């Protein structure tokens, strides 16, 4: 009776369960994690992680730090990283301090950011190889 009508863009395809939008996860400055941080949503990390982060979208705050690898679709760094970053999109803001290689599709490095390592471009899927044989 008082329910909001479903918007056609919010309806699930036939046979699929409706998927709720995920809320962003926030890890405060007073939290220290050891191990893996895994999420298919957005994560704001203001605390410390010693280990691996595999997230869809990671925002590392000014007080945040990662000692280990980061893998995701989008990574924004304001804090400290000691380890490898692999993401389609990487942004190092002016307060970023990164030591390690960054593998990326696109990268933005603001003035003032500290980056010691290699910037490696993500390669697109390799094209099929064709074998050419000599005619006899």
pTM for the complete prediction? 0.76
pLDDT tens for 34-82 read 999 999 999 999 999 999 999 999 999 999 999 999 999 999 999 999 9
Q: Is the residue at 14 inside a domain?
A: no
Q: What's the domain count of the chain?
A: 1
Which pLDDT belongs to residue 21?
A: 64
Which pLDDT belongs to residue 63?
A: 97
Which pLDDT belongs to residue 51?
A: 97
Please, which residues bridge with residue 55 across strands?
39, 72
Determine the structural domain holding residue 87 and report its residue range: 25-121
Residue 129 has pLDDT above 50, yes or no: no
Q: Is the residue at 134 inside a domain?
A: no
């Amino acid at each position: 009776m008082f329910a909001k009508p479903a918007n056609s863009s919010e309806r699930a395809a036939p046979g699929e369960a409706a998927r709720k939008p995920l809320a962003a996860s926030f890890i405060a400055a007073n939290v220290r994690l050891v191990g893996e941080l895994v999420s298919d949503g957005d994560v704001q990390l203001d605390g410390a992680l010693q280990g691996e982060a595999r997230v869809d979208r990671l925002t590392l705050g000014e007080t945040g730090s990662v000692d280990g690898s980061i893998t995701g679709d989008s990574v924004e760094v304001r804090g400290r990283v000691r380890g490898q970053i692999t993401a389609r999109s990487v942004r190092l803001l002016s307060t970023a301090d990164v030591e390690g290689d960054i593998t990326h599709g696109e990268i933005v490095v603001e003035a003032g950011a500290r980056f010691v390592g290699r910037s490696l471009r993500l390669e697109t899927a390799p094209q099929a190889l064709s074998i050419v044989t000599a005619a006899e």
